[in-house]
Structure 1
């Protein structure tokens, strides 16, 4: 039973909490404006409830709270956050908001309001929405910061959503919002979004790692205490004002490390970082950080390969800190981060904190501003469809950086793995278009040369040089890619037009009519998918017009095909694998929908799966933890179908097992015995490679389901000499 009075009190409690956090920066009329926005939102959403059953107004309140408390935004953002869903859900128009609350608020809310209307086939509504939101980046970054707050609250309350919605929202978050938070320097939010993504897409792994972190907490706290004790004393002796925090790494980053380095939880050496935060004036920051570094390394031996100096050259999202990894007395590596209060606030709150320090420190600001300006250029000059655009945008988000210099010594920051050609486009589009090669540190290098920190680069050009398809293979910056693609598109258009004229001329000579039937015969004969492709090939000389002869149009068109088309081939494979159509429940009911098992992740019964509508009839089944799934669910949420396995008769599915250990005579024999004798598992292939007494290998086996596979992995793990066994995709 709903108690209106209790709900009213709850809403007011949240509202008062918001005002408490906002109070320090409120000016003359601000409290009134916030109250007005709150009342407008309460009225607009008065009959609405969230999926969890609570009053809808609690969502805008929570978003405003995150904007203030966790991102550090001010009054305009609070007002916009409180009303961010009003236009979408009620009769109120943007014009009404502008009249009542001014143009800043109206513009932010317009950026946050979903786009509606007609979309191209093959584009995606989410990608279109995201593109629209990013276009507001050139006006007001607050749109994106509030959108991140909105997404963080949705992720925190995802429990009440149905499963397929959970997967779609979590994947979209991982695909776009976590990288965006990272790029805007909001590390705390980025880590929480990643962890929540894992919680909903791979719940078991999430629980497993969080339990292990919990179990090791007291030992970890004791270790941190012992580790920092001598440092604290020394810092006090030098008169430093400081705070020390020890915090475990996020669950997602631990899992990433386990997968990337192929190690177990217990083998991760830097499960946590120790952060020393100094309270020093701006002008002493650098000196103080290095002095503290020197104090730490007096007690503990540093790993020279793990020193990261972002104090002298901040990351382009403004992050400043000095990181070192040192060897503790107990033989464990520990990462220590040294920074000041200002740097810590920028690291936690990212973009919003920059405004606070803008007058004092324009260097870090300008790096972020530069990135935002780059995104603006990319947005304005981009003619690609929304999905291609999204792909480009993402490439720009999660990047490490490389610092290089022009011949005159000007510093240019490029994404990691950038090449000499990227550098040329970075200097100027025209220099990129005519780039022949480069001199790096006075030596001639090809366009594809990957730049290293500290390289000094001079670009060589020629008016005769033009971009070609090959160039796309070795550029990583979005500026270079979009300029090259644009040129190639224009070039292709021009070539196609020439090809059309040549083809028409040839058909004229042969006195063949330019009908659809005749064109289709041509396409079939030369095995070309589209008419444009045919024109292009004729113009570029890959198809010689002389080879277009009368016989093509008179010969019987229907040749019997001996090759199975891909769909029939898949069906044949599934017949052999024993997959049949009543093994999965797809959608709301068991139906005889045709489906195929995705090759990218090879799901087997027991795996958490979902269906993806490929065409009108076909459904492709993926594991929810599949790498491609993130992209599909975030870009084509409307084509995602619920799917789960039914209890089935014993059938065999192919699964891959990766194994690692110390080499010895008879080991392979022991492994194959476990596989074939003890569990009646058929093995399809085994490859084992041994090097310096350590072996690594992959085994492909047929199993019934995940339980069967887990048993097999456990038994293989008991074989003498085996150190690690795990399933791979």
Structure 2
């Protein structure tokens, strides 16, 4: 950001020149003041880096005058008592800025950071920040939690039960069942929270990032409390579980044995701890349902050939089916059938007595079933009984990379691989099912697909004629068209066009974007598309 850097550098130049004149003076005053009162001290100072100031201005929406830690001193003393004594002496020497005192000694951050922060008004009316900490706290702040990793007596390799180590251990526990990207995203929240502190009715203190809710608080108390939370009381007033908690709130959780986590809860919580607990519960619950569905499907098919699941369960033939499917437990196979990942024929084929060897061999491989959907033929791995349909959010067209997901009670939804909703569905990989376009889709007589396209352009004469010409010359048709213009001579068009496949759509989009006066062409519902 060269322009922003030049502007910001000019804005802080006056403050920097002032700071250079009195930094040494302030350092001498601090050292003399503290040593006179018997406090052994090390004083450091720094001017905040230009890019750090730029990021803070963006994050907080303030101007340079309100960046109070532009100039900062760090005071390192020998004990916690000296920290508070130093704070008192500094406030006697310079007036503090109201609302700028932060006590991270009494209430450390979850990542073990401890320090006293205060802002005072110094020479010539310039505010500056002072951080006060012990040498031990300074090591952790500068070098991380590993700098204070503690162990029990010699001969034991188990880490001591230290709150700092407990925080790191909790991060790893909460990562169970998450992807590496999810873990990194949640780690950023835990390492760099804009924190608030809330209290239980007993006076216990919990810290939370900004945006945390009553539900986050419930999961912080205990996982079981979170799973049965129906709401709570903040400072004595009843509130729903999605209510945001604020610094200093006293929160009391209300639970019900009838309550269970929902998928919607993932959008309510702000902490990694709560999100991982909810996701783990949902996965267990979905697997239990899938096991029950798979049990009913398999038992139904086995009864058609004169057997039942009760009869074959535990038999050598069934054990052989488990081994050939790469599974060790019966419930894993039943879950795979319930989710649609494994066809029932994989199990019933080897167990039937009235089929020949050729049929048995065919049953051992995952079969593909042609599924006509809206005129388009798809090949789906799994049970032929599944209803298959194209997802309305992205409306994939033949030739695009696609992926199928088993939905509850609706069959298999087929999405474009780059559909924004697919990112959320990947939280449940057990629901994914392999799908692909049938070869017949490439034929000239294949049915057309509807695609929604949004365009922004300079509102000039003949633009719609040019758009229509591009689409028709590529063999497409316009099904619907909505136009809108703005006073600044900008035009907007929302079209639904008919195309045969992804290659034809790509040609149309490329030629539309190349039109003179065209500002933007986007496919509605695609990744990165606008509204």
TM-score range for the pair, normalised by the shorter chain length: 0.5 to 0.7
User: Distance in 2 between the 1:342 and 1:565 partners?
Assistant: 61
The alignment partner of 2:253 has SS state of strand
User: Distance in 2 between the 1:217 and 1:271 partners?
Assistant: 9
User: Distance in 2 between the 1:575 and 1:516 partners?
Assistant: 46
Larger RCO (CA within 8 A; separation ≥ 6): 1
The alignment partner of 2:38 has SS state of coil
2:409 aligned residue:
536
Equivalent residues in 2 for 1:29-178 (5 A)? none
Contact 1:418–1:450 (8 Å) recurs in 2: yes
User: 1:317–1:243: structure 2 CA closer, same or farther, 3 Å change rule?
Assistant: same
Deviation at 1:265, TM superposition (A): 5.0
User: Distance in 1 between the 2:191 and 2:68 partners?
Assistant: 27
One of 213, 218, 224 as aligned partner of 2:23: 224
Confirm whether residue 314 of structure 1 aligns to residue 113 of structure 2: no
Equivalent residues in 2 for 1:10-21 (5 A)? none
Q: Deviations over 1:262-318 (max 9, x none)?
A: 55657745411022223x3xxxx2332222222222222112200011122222222
Q: Structure 2: state its 5+ residue gaps.
A: 154-159, 301-367, 376-386, 396-402, 413-444, 461-501, 507-515, 521-531
User: 1:276–1:451: structure 2 CA closer, same or farther, 3 Å change rule?
Assistant: same
Aligned length: 343
Deviation at 1:325, TM superposition (A): 0.8
Q: Deviations over 1:239-280 (max 9, x none)?
A: 3322322201133321112323555657745411022223x3
User: Distance in 2 between the 1:405 and 1:249 partners?
Assistant: 34
User: Distance in 2 between the 1:449 and 1:346 partners?
Assistant: 34
Contact 1:497–1:535 (8 Å) recurs in 2: no
Confirm whether residue 242 of structure 1 aligns to residue 96 of structure 2: no
Confirm whether residue 449 of structure 1 aligns to residue 240 of structure 2: no
User: Distance in 1 between the 2:181 and 2:57 partners?
Assistant: 31
One of 247, 270, 273 as aligned partner of 1:479: 273
Deviation at 1:479, TM superposition (A): 2.4
The alignment partner of 1:536 has SS state of coil
Deviation at 1:229, TM superposition (A): 5.0
User: 1:388–1:357: structure 2 CA closer, same or farther, 3 Å change rule?
Assistant: closer
Q: Deviations over 1:473-525 (max 9, x none)?
A: 211222221222233345556667899999xx9xxxxxxxx952335656558
The alignment partner of 1:396 has SS state of helix
Q: Deviations over 1:132-184 (max 9, x none)?
A: xxxxxxxxxxxxxxxxxxxxxxxxxxxxxxxxxxxxxxxxxxxxxxxxxxxxx
User: 1:458–1:533: structure 2 CA closer, same or farther, 3 Å change rule?
Assistant: same
One of 66, 71, 82 as aligned partner of 1:272: 71
User: Distance in 1 between the 2:284 and 2:504 partners?
Assistant: 36
Equivalent residues in 2 for 1:210-609 (5 A)? 217=16, 219-262=18-61, 268-278=67-77, 280=78, 285-355=79-149, 366-379=162-175, 382-492=176-286, 516-519=370-373, 523=388, 527=392, 532=405, 535-537=408-410, 564-566=451-453, 569=454, 573=456
The alignment partner of 1:337 has SS state of strand
Q: Deviations over 1:192-240 (max 9, x none)?
A: xxxxxxxxxx567568767987886553121223445544443333233
Q: Deviations over 1:102-140 (max 9, x none)?
A: xxxxxxxxxxxxxxxxxxxxxxxxxxxxxxxxxxxxxxx
The alignment partner of 1:347 has SS state of helix
User: Distance in 1 between the 2:86 and 2:390 partners?
Assistant: 74
TM-score normalised by the chain length of structure 2 = 0.53
TM-score normalised by the chain length of structure 1 = 0.40
Which structure carries more strand by proportion? 2
Equivalent residues in 2 for 1:667-682 (5 A)? none
The alignment partner of 1:458 has SS state of strand
User: 1:326–1:653: structure 2 CA closer, same or farther, 3 Å change rule?
Assistant: farther
Contact 1:439–1:457 (8 Å) recurs in 2: yes
The alignment partner of 2:130 has SS state of strand
User: Distance in 2 between the 1:263 and 1:460 partners?
Assistant: 39
Q: Deviations over 1:674-729 (max 9, x none)?
A: xxxxxxxxxxxxxxxxxxxxxxxxxxxxxxxxxxxxxxxxxxxxxxxxxxxxxxxx
User: Distance in 2 between the 1:618 and 1:349 partners?
Assistant: 54
Deviation at 1:438, TM superposition (A): 2.1
User: Distance in 2 between the 1:404 and 1:308 partners?
Assistant: 15
The alignment partner of 1:466 has SS state of coil
